Amino acid sequence: MTAGPNISIRVLDWAEAEPKAMPLRLQVFVVEQGVPVELERDEFDAVSKHALAETAAGEALATGRLLPDGHIGRMAVAASWRGRGLGGAVLEALVAEAAARGMDHALLNAQTHALDFYRRHGFVEEGKEFMEAGIPHRTMRRTLERNT
């Protein structure tokens, strides 16, 4: 998938994604948002699919993951690339992967400041606001259409 001139998005296993995705996630979540590093690293990376947006030179610009149960998470975009559509492109790559795997819906826990972003991509809030890693979140769901 292409996100723009000289930018590609690939859906990868963790072994291939980790060297580029983890430094970006650490920068966004641990350094910028103050999430404890022990909360950022977990056992779900190894069993998830990871979307990675990168330049032709291999610079990681955005990432996210799809867990086997249809949850999307760890959405991160490099600060200098925010607002250019890369987060949306990564999100749509993960949604497409979920649909290709036969899932009926995708779920995510959105930071409340990003609710509008996810609404624009067809996600709808469920339940009440809750705290995760000291940051307010809402669960959101998007019904998927399968290609038959």
In a domain, 33, yes or no: yes
**Total number of domains in the chain:** 1
pLDDT at position 39 is 86
For 40-46, which contacts have Cβ atoms below 8 Å and span 24 or more sequence positions? Answer: 45/14, 45/18, 46/14
In a domain, 45, yes or no: yes
In a domain, 64, yes or no: yes
CATH number of the domain bearing residue 73: 3.40.630.30
In a domain, 94, yes or no: yes
In a domain, 134, yes or no: no
- Count CB neighbours of 100 within 10 A: 13
The domain of 78 spans 2-104
**Considering Cα of 87, then 68, then 99, then 123, what sign does the dihedral take?**
negative
In a domain, 137, yes or no: no
User: Taking 70 as the threshold, does the pLDDT of residue 148 lie above it?
Assistant: no
pLDDT at position 16 is 97
Task: For residue 83, give both structure tokens.
Answer: 């607002």
92-110 pLDDT tens trace: 999 999 999 999 999 999 9
In a domain, 121, yes or no: no
Confidence of residue 147 (pLDDT cuts 50, 70, 90): low
Confidence of residue 145 (pLDDT cuts 50, 70, 90): confident
In a domain, 124, yes or no: no
- In terms of C-beta density within 10 A (0-12 exposed, 13-18 middle, 19 or more buried), how is residue 95 classed? buried
Mean pLDDT of 8-18: 96
Confidence of residue 90 (pLDDT cuts 50, 70, 90): very high
User: Taking 90 as the threshold, does the pLDDT of residue 26 lie above it?
Assistant: yes
Q: For the whole model, what pTM was predicted?
A: 0.92
34-89 pLDDT tens trace: 988 888 889 999 999 999 999 999 999 999 999 999 999 999 999 999 999 999 99
pLDDT at position 41 is 87
